Structure 1
Amino acid sequence: MYLNNIKLLFIQPCVAESKKIRFKAEFSSDVSNIMPYLNSVVKSGSYNSNMPSFTFKKDSRLINIYANDMTVAKAINETDAYSIMDFVKDLINETYDNKNSIEPNYEMRKKPSAFKIYSYLPKKNCKKCGETTCIAFASKLLTGVKTLNQCDVLEEEQYKEKLKSLNDLLELV
């Protein structure tokens, strides 16, 4: 076992969502050398080798892993905080155990722009999604206000490949 435990340091109200919490926890070991492997395992994550840090979302929670600690925003409550800590500990240990079969990824993934997302949309401005234009819909996809299934046109056979590409792009959001 690479990471023996994670110790909760503090809990505070979440700035982004007042009914949720944010917290910080400390690792029993430095995990910076595992981050490039996590970057390969968690496709929706973002690795920053300069810091080093690894950031990803689990459901609505934003998890930031640093060399010796982690921060989490939008946790539901203290019980959820401990559950997330267990999840991260298992993720790190499992990744470490399998690192010989994982190609480390040192690339820093970038969040796609609204224009990049728009390039894959049907561009019909049909308003079925509730937005006046497809570029407005693309912007709402980036912020998580809208989801791809709200664009009925994307379900048409001719947009099947674009829908797959959009799903891949939005994994980074």
Structure 2
Amino acid sequence: MYLDHIAIVFMEPCTTGHGRIKIRAQLARNIDDLLPYLNAVIKTANYNPKAPSFSYKTGNHIITVQGDTLSATQMENESDAYEFLEQFQIIVNDTADNKAHITPLNKQRERLKPFELYRYLPKTNCKSCGEATCMAFATKLVDGSQKLDRCTLLKEQENSLNYQHLAFILKESGYDLH
């Protein structure tokens, strides 16, 4: 097993989330050698090979890994933190086990920008997605807190090409469409 345990060494309230916590955890080993492989596996990651550091967002959590240290924000509670760490350990171990079949990505990805997505949105600011404007919706798509299917106008016949294009962009960038 590549990573046999992760221990929480620090926990405190998040300054940005009401009632949420942030943690710092000690990994059983330095995983810098695995970061390019994780970068290939976790499509929404931001990998800096010069540091080396690795970060990504999953749900509301922002995860950062450097060497043998992991920090995570916006955890609901201690139980949520332990559950997340178990899932992270599984991802790390699966990635390590499948290294031979993964092409490492040794560079930073270009990050999606809201305006790139906004170009293909209806621009009606209809609020059917739950956001005040189409630009706000595009911003939430980029940060992963909104899903493309929430825009009802994109499902109409005249917008189907834009929907397909947005779906392609998001999928290629590693976003979950549903």
TM-score bin, normalised by smaller chain: 0.7 to 0.9
- Per the alignment, residue 7 of structure 1 pairs with 7
- Per the alignment, residue 175 of structure 2 pairs with 171
- The 5 Å alignment of 1:14-93 reads 14-93=14-93
Q: CA RMSD in A?
A: 2.4
- Preserved contact between residue 117 and residue 166 of structure 2 (Cα < 8 Å): no
Shift of 1:165: 2.9
1:162 partner amino acid: H
Pair 97,143 (structure 1): closer, same or farther in 2 beyond 3 Å: closer
Q: Secondary structure at the match of 2:3?
A: coil
Deviates more, 1:28-37 or 1:152-161: 152-161
Unaligned 5+ segments in structure 2 are none
2:77 partner amino acid: N
Q: Secondary structure at the match of 2:22?
A: strand
Pair 104,74 (structure 1): closer, same or farther in 2 beyond 3 Å: same
- Preserved contact between residue 55 and residue 64 of structure 2 (Cα < 8 Å): yes
Shift of 1:140: 4.6
- Preserved contact between residue 121 and residue 162 of structure 1 (Cα < 8 Å): no
Provide the C-alpha distance between the structure 2 equivalents of 1:93 and 1:143, rounded to a whole number of angstroms. Answer: 26
- Per the alignment, residue 151 of structure 1 pairs with 151
Pair 49,14 (structure 1): closer, same or farther in 2 beyond 3 Å: same
Provide the C-alpha distance between the structure 2 equivalents of 1:144 and 1:100, rounded to a whole number of angstroms. Answer: 30
- The 5 Å alignment of 1:105-144 reads 105-123=105-123, 125=124, 127-129=126-128, 133-142=133-142
- Preserved contact between residue 61 and residue 73 of structure 1 (Cα < 8 Å): yes
Deviations 1:41-76 (A, max 9, x none): 111212111221111222221111111110000111
TM-score by length of 1: 0.85
Provide the C-alpha distance between the structure 2 equivalents of 1:170 and 1:131, rounded to a whole number of angstroms. Answer: 23
How many residue pairs match? The answer is 171
Stretches (4+) displaced over 6 A: none
- Preserved contact between residue 43 and residue 174 of structure 2 (Cα < 8 Å): no
Provide the C-alpha distance between the structure 1 equivalents of 2:131 and 2:58, rounded to a whole number of angstroms. Answer: 27
Provide the C-alpha distance between the structure 2 equivalents of 1:2 and 1:71, rounded to a whole number of angstroms. Answer: 19
Unaligned 5+ segments in structure 1 are none
Deviations 1:10-61 (A, max 9, x none): 1000112021100000111110010110011111212111221111222221
Paired-residue identity, %? 33
Provide the C-alpha distance between the structure 1 equivalents of 2:164 and 2:121, rounded to a whole number of angstroms. Answer: 11
